[in-house]
């Protein structure tokens, strides 16, 4: 895994945690003693959320047609999330777009699950473009870990890397494809 891929995953984790933190601090949930009958306590439609880092610089942007929060479980469901992650430093690295059919954020914001047609694409401005595709991706920001139990494909100009099961340690930027790893040179 290249440093860009690891950086993208780190930024994705930070984006999800920042979105959860922003939403949980800005929107206070009403008391839920079963009065809502299984309905979400709030819903965001066709929204764009720009999360800033501690220095006030853009950390990521999240766009989605719908976000709902379950008041009992305190989890959030996101329909068709699109994360726009800018380059880490001005002039170095690439920007990334990460899409999925659905997203789910745990109550404590310590787990994000992206499901269905997960695709992360670098823009290739400063480095060769990279595309990562899978059907599910789990992000654990507190543990600096990302994993997937299903097939993962990493495309770069000149090569395609495929395997089943992915584990990424974001702290030391190491990744492991678990089984059936195949590499193909594409001229």
**119 within domain boundaries:** yes
Query: 34 lies in a domain?
Result: no
Mean pLDDT (the chain, rounded): 80
The total number of structural domains that make up the chain: 1
The answer to whether position 125 is within a domain reads yes
- pLDDT at 126 exceeding the cut of 90: no
Q: Is residue 165 part of a domain?
A: yes
Is it the case that residue 111 has pLDDT exceeding 60? yes
CATH code where residue 47 lies: 2.60.450.10
Q: What is the pTM of this model?
A: 0.69
Rounded-to-integer distance, Cα 169 and Cα 167, Å: 7
Please name every residue paired with 76 in a beta bridge, in sequence order, or none if there are none. Answer: 69, 105
Q: Is residue 37 part of a domain?
A: no
- Structure confidence by residue, pLDDT tens digits, 48-95: 888 776 778 777 778 999 999 999 999 889 999 988 777 766 556 667
Q: Is residue 104 part of a domain?
A: yes
Q: How confident is the model at residue 35 (pLDDT cuts 50, 70, 90)?
A: very low
Q: Which residue in the block uniquely carries the two structure tokens 């089943």?
A: 164
Residue 134 lies in a domain: yes
Mean pLDDT within 177-183: 90
CA distance to 19, 28, 117, per residue, from 147 (Å): 20, 32, 15
Q: 57: domain range?
A: 3-28+42-185
Q: Is residue 8 part of a domain?
A: yes
């Amino acid at each position: 895994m290249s440093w860009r891929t690891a950086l993208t995953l780190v930024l994705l984790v930070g984006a999800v945690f920042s979105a959860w933190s922003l939403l949980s601090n800005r929107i206070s949930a009403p008391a839920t003693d079963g009065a809502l009958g299984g309905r979400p306590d709030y819903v965001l439609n066709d929204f764009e959320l720009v999360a800033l880092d501690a220095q006030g610089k853009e950390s990521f942007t999240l766009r989605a047609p719908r976000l709902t929060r379950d008041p009992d479980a305190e989890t959030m469901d996101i329909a068709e999330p699109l994360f726009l992650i800018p380059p880490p430093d001005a002039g170095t690295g690439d920007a990334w777009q990460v899409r999925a059919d659905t997203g789910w954020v745990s109550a404590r914001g310590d787990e994000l699950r992206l499901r269905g047609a997960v695709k992360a694409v670098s823009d290739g401005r400063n480095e060769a473009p990279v595309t990562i595709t899978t059907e599910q991706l789990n992000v654990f920001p507190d543990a600096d870990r990302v994993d997937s139990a299903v097939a993962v494909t990493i495309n770069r100009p000149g090569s395609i890397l495929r395997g089943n099961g992915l584990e990424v340690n974001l702290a030391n930027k190491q990744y492991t494809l678990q089984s059936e790893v195949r590499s193909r040179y594409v001229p």
